Chains A and B, each alone.
Chain A
Amino acid sequence: MLAVHRDVLNIVQAKFLSAEVVRSIHLNVSAIDGRRCDENRILALVEYNNSFALFILISSKIKPLSISDLSIETVIPIDEYFSCDTEPIEGSQFHIIFIITYKKIVRAFKIEIGLESSNFASEVIRSKEVSLYNKPIFVWLDKYIGTMSEPSHTSDLGQTDTPIIRQHIAQGPSGINRDSMLKYQLKLKEPEFTQKQEFSIFVGTWNVNGQPPSISLRPWLSCDENPPDLYAVGFQEIDLSKEAFLFNDTPREAEWYKYVMEGVHPKAKYKLVGLARLVGMQLVVMVNSQHYPYVKNISVDTIGTGLLGKMGNKGGVGVRMELHNTSLCFVNSHLAAHVDEYERRNQDYKDINARMNFKRTPQAIKDHEQVYWLGDLNYRITDLTTTQVKTLLNRHELPTLLRADQLNQQKERGNVLLDYEEGDIKFQPTYKYDLNTDTFDTSEKARPPAWTDRILWRGKGVYQVAYRSHMDLRLSDHKPVSALFKSEISVVDPSKYRRVHEELLKKMDKYENEYLPQVTVDQTEVVFELVKFRERQTREITIANTGMVPAEFEFIKKLDENSYCKDWLRIIPYCGSINPGEKCDVKLEVCLETDLTKIYDILVLHLKGGKDMFIIINGDCQKSSFTTSISTLCRISVPIMQVTDEQWRLALKDVSESSVLYSVPRELWLIIDHLYRHGLKTRDLFESSALHEEIIRIRDWLDFGSLDPLPGNVQAVAETLLLFLSFTKDPVIPYDVHDACIAAASNFQNCRQIVLQKVSDLHRNVFLYICMFLQEILKYSNDNGYDAKTLASLFGDILLRDQIRNSKPQASRGKSNFVYNFLVNDMSSSIMPHK
């Protein structure tokens, strides 16, 4: 055994009780998750009393120096359900894939072929054999499940008796509280074992307008004399196809990645840190390979803010990491388009900030020491005509133009990118050019030039050296932009670190009893005002650390519940760390999407290694047609808020055919009628997302009734239709026939049979009514640009929506194929006539 191996084995062993023996470990393992490859895993085979388990540990360093560098990611018991296998990697002689299967979990790891891997694999196989003879008991694993860093994996383990993480109570001081204390104290003492070192960071952004890569990126990425230490390269619109929009799948990702790799500075070698992509947005972060060993805790996330607030035609993608001891976050965003939509852009920015949630601490963008924000932010120049802009440009009066720049204006007002800095812009606007030229838009629309593509930053010790555009790259209607930074990164001295670390451990042993976390919460009962459908309401509670140690808080699950809060509530942040004497505001945001009449819950706010507090949530809800069942809506003849209690009771209770008043809900008819009259020829009718207020106005118009015309523009009404169908109490096509629908999708007659026989009259009416309307849209496909496939994908996921709401923008092909049948065949005769 190598000396390195033995050192690490000892450290891994310290993570366990002494009777739990680490039999074998495997270092340098990469976890493969889809296309992503997470390095720094260690596999450990652990035995207690003849029962074996495989632990997947995350090491925050390539080679862990102490127990606090390791956290347990997943625990897999080795019993009859366990199996493992290997698979060759095409074109690689040095690595294989090691696959572990346990019940429904499949995990794949890339490992190097060699003595270590064959020893490890044979130990695992032997342990599996042993477990077949004994009846292994796995109670000893319970306590580790509570310490796993990604609890999402635990639910798959089938060990459902751990809803509330109480195991580490009995683990006491070795539990997480100790870790957080250590982290805090280490941070305080950071200057004692680190020094600042300057790193050059190249940040680039380019909206490529859907063009495939065809030219070298060297003039952009390698324009500086010296190779940068780190690259963050962001693209927007790498693929404008409907396919990419609906299924988030594009061959362009790999193509652009290849061009980036070929375009980086020739004087250095680079290694990929993280790649994040959502539809057309792609962010590639790479480091000079000599720095790669000092990169840790990599995580990526993507946020869609487009249609329905989740589709990925707009939004942001992020990559976070720690380089040595400094946390860095890169965000590439593509915000809403059109000159007037700057509020929407501000909103997109806020949404990305609020929703981007990395799986490593810190999780939020704002909590990183350095953030680099790049992208097509889409802010334009206001109040100047194209001619005026061009004249000013010719006269080199950039300051005048920059004062009219929406981003500068909005930023000044504190509406966006508040504490970010941007360097002086000394380059021409980067949008909009005729393709393959340096000439501003000469088309009929003659859009005024604008600085849509920007790079900003926040954080200490970041100095911008260059900020420029690259006119020579003429592929797109945008020009690429880049910025070069000199950024201070704190670098650890390992021997000093070890000394400080050891001293701290000793000190903590001594003062343990005084180090219990203490916090107070300013309110324990939170009452919301009347809660309305999809109208967010926020309350803030403040958690103050009144103790002597950092308090790591987390809202935790109650017994028999599968989440720490009900689905109508969001808690931001739901976990975090507060230093002594500091406070943390926690936002409680209610968003009602069901037909509840009251909201009520008790939240459990847990302090790691300390007490729990209860917070009561209370509020009444207003009913809405959006969350009512189709069957009930067809039994009321007036807007839902005008219905008397008696009528409402009857409509909910009476399911007889005679009580049906309408063949489709009145609200649905009103929406579709409006779209039919005003929207058939609208381009991208279903792809632009409306302002939230517009949707609320339409909702109130439908629910309260009004003599005024339906408010909102036609795209807002179109989004309302999608929303309406997404939230009715039951889906248009009942859950229990979805599988049958998908299975029948290739045959219209089979699909037709399902709709005729397995779907109730009212639901069938709604389904066919929608399909007829979509057929109507298809008649004008020259104007609106829709084809049957696209509409089918868009509506497939809504008409056959999943029981568990899908938050990621990805359509199901089976459902889309099913709906497609009804867009190209006539079924109008099957609609029940109106009485």
Chain B
Amino acid sequence: MSAGPYNYSYIFKYIIIGDMGVGKSCLLHQFTEKKFMADCPHTIGVEFGTRIIEVSGQKIKLQIWDTAGQERFRAVTRSYYRGAAGALMVYDITRRSTYNHLSSWLTDTRNLTNPSTVIFLIGNKCDLEGQRDVTYEEASKFAEENGLMFVEASAKTGDNVEEAFLETAKKIYQSIQDGRLDLNAAESGVQHKPSQPGRNNLSSDQQASKDNCAC
């Protein structure tokens, strides 16, 4: 039988949340395409992106859901939190209002995801130092108080974008190793490499069954 293997062993689900105009779609685009998207239109819906990364020698496929930030869609976008392994919560360092709303985004995230979901705070647009409205120290303190990971990043220059997505994945992978994350729960937002249709998948999936038994 032909092998035709998938080239990754896990799938992680991410969501990106935060106020309108903080640059969520640009961060996603920078991460998946390594390009800055100028004049990015407002997202009316939930965009979807994917990229394969490597953590500790394991290939992981990230499935990223980039949600609309507009307040009127808030009730609808809430249904996308469920089953996220990682949540990237974004604000704009040049607009204090977007920072002030973080606690409300955080409340939603905590209520709608499971305890093992990794939340990463991103202060976007750090290339616009001159227009800074929120200090690094202030946001850093907020992150610490709430147990979030934190960086300042720029979707325009690409600074720290890669890091934010990768660090989140590392943390999730750690949770799996520690056994804190139940792999087979649909809520976990993590899946093993799916079985290959139409072929015997004994060899490649033995690993998976072992892990499943462990939890």
Chain A residues at the B interface, C-beta cutoff of 8 Å? 10-11, 13-14, 16-19, 48-49, 66-68, 139-140, 142-143, 163-164, 166-167, 169-174, 501-502, 505-506, 509, 512-513, 516, 524, 558-559, 602, 604-605, 607, 610-614, 616
A–B pairs, 29, beta carbons within 8 Å: A11-B198, A13-B195, A14-B197, A14-B201, A16-B195, A17-B212, A18-B205, A19-B184, A19-B212, A49-B212, A139-B185, A139-B187, A140-B185, A167-B186, A169-B13, A170-B186, A170-B191, A172-B11, A172-B191, A502-B198, A505-B4, A505-B198, A524-B44, A558-B79, A611-B47, A612-B80, A614-B68, A614-B73, A616-B72
In the bound complex, residues from chain A placing their C-beta under 8 Å from that of B111 are: none
Cβ–Cβ < 8 Å partners of B68 in chain A: 614
Interface string of B46-76 (1 = CB under 8 A from A): 1111111000000001010100100011011
Say yes or no for B130: interface residue by CB 8 A criterion. Answer: no
Query: Are the C-beta atoms of A170 and B80 separated by less than 8 Å?
Result: no
Cβ of A166: which chain B residues have Cβ within 8 Å of it?
Answer: 79-80, 82-83
Complex alpha-carbon distance, A19 and B201, angstroms: 12
B20 interfacial by beta-carbon distance below 8 Å:
no
Q: Does B197 lie within 8 Å of A513, measured CB to CB?
A: no
B103 CB–A CB distance under 8 Å? no
- Return the chain B residue nearest A498 by Cβ: B198
A501 to chain B: which residues have CB within 8 Å? 198
- Closest chain A CB from B108 CB (angstroms): 12
Q: When the two chains form the complex, which single residue of A164, A174, A607 contacts B195, counting CB atoms closer than 8 Å?
A: A174
B32 to chain A, nearest CB (A): 9
User: Besides the contacts A170-B13, A602-B75, what 12 more A-B pairs have beta carbons closer than 8 Å?
Assistant: A10-B200, A14-B197, A17-B212, A18-B201, A167-B83, A509-B5, A524-B45, A602-B73, A611-B48, A612-B46, A612-B48, A613-B46
Per the bound structure, the CA–CA distance linking A414 and B89 in Å amounts to 56
Whether A17 contacts B200 by the Cβ 8 Å rule is: no
Number of interface residues of B (CB under 8 A): 51
B200 touches A612 (CB 8 A): no
Residues of A within 8 A of B83 (CB): 166-167, 169-170
The answer for the CA separation of A684 and B4 in the assembled complex, in Å, is 68
Q: Which residue of A lies closest to B46 (CB)?
A: A612
Q: Is B139 an interface residue (CB 8 A)?
A: no
* Inter-chain contacts of B65 with A (CB < 8 A): 169
Closest to A142 in B: B186
Chain B contacts with A in 167-193, Cβ cutoff 8 A = 184-192
B29 sits at the interface (CB 8 A): no
A602→B70 CA distance, assembly (Å)? 13
Determine how close the nearest CB of chain A comes to the CB of B45; give it in whole angstroms: 4
- Ranked 9 nearest A-B pairs via Cβ: A613-B45, A174-B194, A559-B79, A18-B205, A67-B197, A19-B212, A611-B48, A142-B186, A612-B46
Q: Are B76 and A602 in contact (CB under 8 A)?
A: yes
- Given the complex of chains A and B, what is the CA–CA distance between A234 and B81 in angstroms? 52
Q: Please give the distance in Å from B58's CB to the nearest CB on chain A.
A: 15
Residues of chain A with a CB closer than 8 A to B195's CB: 13-14, 16-18, 174
Give the distance to chain B from A22, nearest Cβ to Cβ, in Å.
12
Residues 68-127 (chain B) with a chain A CB within 8 angstroms: 68, 72-73, 75-76, 78-80, 82-83
User: What distance in Å separates the Cβ of B207 from its nearest Cβ neighbour in chain A?
Assistant: 9
Q: A169-B63, A170-B190, A173-B6 are in contact. Are A66 and B45 (CB under 8 A)?
A: no
Asked if residues A516 and B48 are in contact (CB atoms below 8 Å), the reply is yes
A172, B61: Cα distance in complex, Å: 9
Closest to A524 in B: B44
- In the complex, the answer to whether B52 meets A513 with C-beta atoms within 8 Å is yes
Residues of A within 8 A of B78 (CB): 559
CB neighbours (8 Å) of B166 from chain A are none
Interchain nearest-CB distance for B198 vs A (Å): 5
- Is the CB–CB distance between B196 and A14 below 8 Å? yes
| Closest A residue by C-beta to B185 | A139
CB of A23 to closest CB in B, whole Å: 15
Contact indicator A17/B79 (Cβ below 8 Å): no
The answer to whether A614 and B76 have CB atoms under 8 Å apart is yes
